[in-house]
Amino acid sequence: MTSSRNIYLDMHSLEDARKAMFDAFGDMGKRCGTETVPPPDAVGRVLSEPIFARLSSPAFHAAAMDGVAVKADFTFGASESRPKTLAIGTDAVFINTGHIMPPGTDAVIMIEHIVAVDETTIEIEAPAFPWQNVRRMGEDIVATELLFPRHHVITPYCLGALLAGGITEVPVIRKPKVLILPTGSELVPYTEAAFGPLSRGKVVESNSHVLGKMAGEIGADVAVHGIVTDDIDTIRDTVVRHARPETGEERFDMILVLGGSSAGSEDFARSVIADTGEVLVHGVTIMPGKPSIIGKVGDVPVFGVPGYPVSAIICFEQFIGPLIAGMLNKSMPDEASITVRPTKKLASRLGMEEFLRVKLGRVDDRVVATPLPRGAGTITSITEADGIIRIPADIEGIRENEAVPARLIKSRNAIEDTIVAVGSHDNTLDILADLIRAKSHRYSLSSSHVGSMGGLVAIRKNLCHIAGTHLLDTTDGSYNISYIKKYLPDTPVRLVHLVRRDQGLLILPGNPKQIRSIQDLTRDDVVFINRQAGSGTRVLLDYHMEKMGIDAESVHGYENEEFTHMAVAVAVLGKTADAGLGIHAAAKALGLDFMPVATESYDIVIPEKFADSPQVKRFLEIIASDEFISRVNGLGGYHTENTGQLVWKTP
């Protein structure tokens, strides 16, 4: 069959797409059937029937304390001035907690409230009342009473009640069987990464593992099919064999075709569903997740899941997860949210609902949100995210410092104890983040890379605790101080030295273009990758270009920007650029050649009001530690003679 390019002819809003899905599969909770499992295996499962106790608990009157069992009315009249004498064996019987009450007794006097007269006699100085310190039969559970209603989710706490109530088998809803079908000729199993670099154009298949675990957490029974190449007949045959019971194959309650939905000509999910069943939704007005497809083959829901990891996760969270929960007659967990204020304007496309991943941290009396990269293929934007801001489709964005809700991905405590760093990127920040977590389970470091000038602006706007900067004053060769005086005149700060580092040209091993200096960037056969405007590296480059009389327009690629040294290194390694300016450590990490240009100072700006906070104190302690310095020196291209020293502070 000849494939044709998919076009989104009838985009659905998120609300309409979810309605279409639940309208089509609203009775899915009836299809899974039931099974019985032993009580310990029922934890996390959903009851298909109500559970009634078979036994009472306790099944007899039992002592709740160590002491003596007595008939309460026989003790009446006892007081401190007129203690009452009881004969052991007739008037009182020694008893331990949990033991059955002797016949004719209905109260227990605690052992510390009796006075032994001799081996056969005791005295009491206060009366007991009926059923004092006694657990009466059925006090906790009465045989035949309802323990849990239908569709209750069994927790570890529930297990004790089931066992105490004499339950030996628990009727639960059968787990929905979900088949995950990864497709794409470019995909390889993650195990192939163990044998060295992947062949050019190959990608590790990860979505099936991520979505499989997410489905399992909700309660599905997940099976992952082997990778299927881009062959529509094979994909169609696999879907049909597992969706239609007449094929004799194992039947699944849901099928996820991964990487089978986009506007590309080689994505076949829509065609497969249309050929064998019905397409309910093809394209949703959300970002990421726009290419999501919802359909059915027979009565089985079949999803076309976008191949980009973040899109796949959003598709799962908004459609697949809720439908699995619906099959189990359970609710999705409540989403905790918190009010945050973005550190910069968040522009968004009108007509598209966006799920924007952000880093969060409390700075003074507010929680600030710094956006992470928006690319649907940037899986680290989810792993590094603390929360998600949902931008409605009917607005064009959110203003800087505007109060908006964010769904929490991490705990509130983690947000409260986060050290918010905004500014220039440096590889040593990764070491700091690791050591902070290693030395304390409480604190963590959140770094957002917006360039040195961006860090100073964040300090001025009270949006971070610290900022990394390496801004060269071209008039005298000093670093950072003149910029702080200019841009933070009313903000008392300390400037602490982190490292000196070697900056230079990152080039491919063996230097195939024979690049020797910044002057060579003007050659027609050289493509350059730049850092963003406002970064210290950009300032350094512009300074050297000006000294050499080089015009920016003569550098092919000058306008192409990246936000970190590692991103520049990757661009060179991937041959999208022939050279980029970056730190020696980035070149060493990816095996690139390095041509030195300058050694610069990378420092940390700390507002005075945060300098003595517990978080920043821990940060400074680790900077001064031998372990940090040793690990930094191991990266290459760093100089740590003055690491941790105070460089300057506001007079």
Asked if residue 283 and residue 191 are part of one domain, the reply reads yes
pLDDT at 384: 83
Asked if residue 355 and residue 281 are part of one domain, the reply reads no
Q: Residue 418 above 80 pLDDT?
A: yes
Choose the final residue of a domain: 308, 327, 346: 327
CA distance 508 to 211: 37
pLDDT at 512: 96
Least confident stretch, 25-34, 296-305, 346-355, 539-548: 25-34
In a domain, residue 482? The reply is yes
Q: Residue 268 above 90 pLDDT?
A: no
Mean pLDDT, the chain, integer = 91
In a domain, residue 431? The reply is no
DSSP string covering 430-481, please?
HHHHHHHHHH-SS-EEEEEE--HHHHHHHHHTT--SBEEE--B-TTTS-BSH
List, for residues 218-258, the tens digit of each pLDDT value. Answer: 999 999 999 998 889 999 999 999 987 676 678 899 999 99
In a domain, residue 450? The reply is yes
Asked if residue 39 and residue 24 are part of one domain, the reply reads no
Percent of the chain exceeding pLDDT 70 equals 96
Contacts of 195 (CB under 8 A, 6+ apart): none
Residue 608 has φ and ψ, to the nearest 5°, of -55, -35
Q: Residue 8 above 60 pLDDT?
A: no
**What value does the mean pLDDT take over residues 69-79?**
93
Asked if residue 316 and residue 222 are part of one domain, the reply reads yes
In a domain, residue 5? The reply is no
Domain holding 633, by residue range, is 437-649
- Domain containing residue 341: CATH number: 2.40.340.10
Asked if residue 607 and residue 459 are part of one domain, the reply reads yes
Q: Residue 216 above 50 pLDDT?
A: yes
In a domain, residue 262? The reply is yes
Asked if residue 584 and residue 500 are part of one domain, the reply reads yes
State the virtual CA torsion across 148, 154, 155, 159 in degrees, nearest 10: 70
Asked if residue 317 and residue 235 are part of one domain, the reply reads yes
pLDDT at 377: 67
pLDDT at 3: 42
**What value does the mean pLDDT take over residues 183-189?**
90
pLDDT at 137: 87
**What value does the mean pLDDT take over residues 331-359?**
89
Contacts of 574 (CB under 8 A, 6+ apart): none
**What value does the mean pLDDT take over residues 628-642?**
95
In a domain, residue 492? The reply is yes
Asked if residue 316 and residue 241 are part of one domain, the reply reads yes
**What value does the mean pLDDT take over residues 36-48?**
96
DSSP string covering 84-122, please?
EEEEBTTTEEEE-TTPBPPTT--EEEEGGGEEE-SSSEE
**What value does the mean pLDDT take over residues 147-169?**
94
pLDDT at 638: 95
Asked if residue 40 and residue 161 are part of one domain, the reply reads yes
CA distance 647 to 259: 52
**Closest by CA position to 540, among listed 568, 518, 511:** 518
Asked if residue 441 and residue 359 are part of one domain, the reply reads no
Q: Residue 13 above 60 pLDDT?
A: yes
In a domain, residue 637? The reply is yes
Contacts of 207 (CB under 8 A, 6+ apart): 182, 258, 259, 305, 307, 309, 312
Higher pLDDT, 646 or 331: 646
Choose the final residue of a domain: 151, 173, 195: 173
Long-range CB contacts for residues 97-104, cutoff 8 Å, separation at least 24: 97/63, 97/64, 97/65, 97/66, 98/62, 98/63, 99/62, 99/63, 100/60, 100/61, 100/62, 101/60, 101/61, 101/62, 101/63, 101/69, 101/134, 102/69, 104/71
List, for residues 528-572, the tens digit of each pLDDT value. Answer: 999 998 888 999 999 999 999 999 999 999 999 998 999 999 999
Q: Residue 2 above 50 pLDDT?
A: no
Contacts of 582 (CB under 8 A, 6+ apart): 503, 504, 506, 531, 537, 565, 568, 569
pLDDT at 247: 62
- Domain containing residue 635: CATH number: 3.40.190.290
Asked if residue 159 and residue 19 are part of one domain, the reply reads no
- Domain containing residue 245: CATH number: 3.40.980.10
Q: How many helices (H) and strands (E) does the chain have?
A: 17, 38
pLDDT at 4: 45
Q: Residue 265 above 70 pLDDT?
A: no
Contact 141, 161 (CB under 8 A): yes
- Domain containing residue 51: CATH number: 3.90.105.10
**What value does the mean pLDDT take over residues 322-351?**
89
Q: How many structural domains comprise the chain?
A: 5
pLDDT at 405: 96
CA distance 168 to 38: 6
pLDDT at 261: 55
Put simply, whether the predicted model's pTM sits higher than 0.85 gets the answer: no
Asked if residue 524 and residue 448 are part of one domain, the reply reads yes
Q: Residue 30 above 80 pLDDT?
A: no
**What value does the mean pLDDT take over residues 78-104?**
93
In a domain, residue 271? The reply is yes
Q: What is the 3-state secondary structure (H, E, C) of 609-625?
A: HHCCCHHHHHHHHHHCC
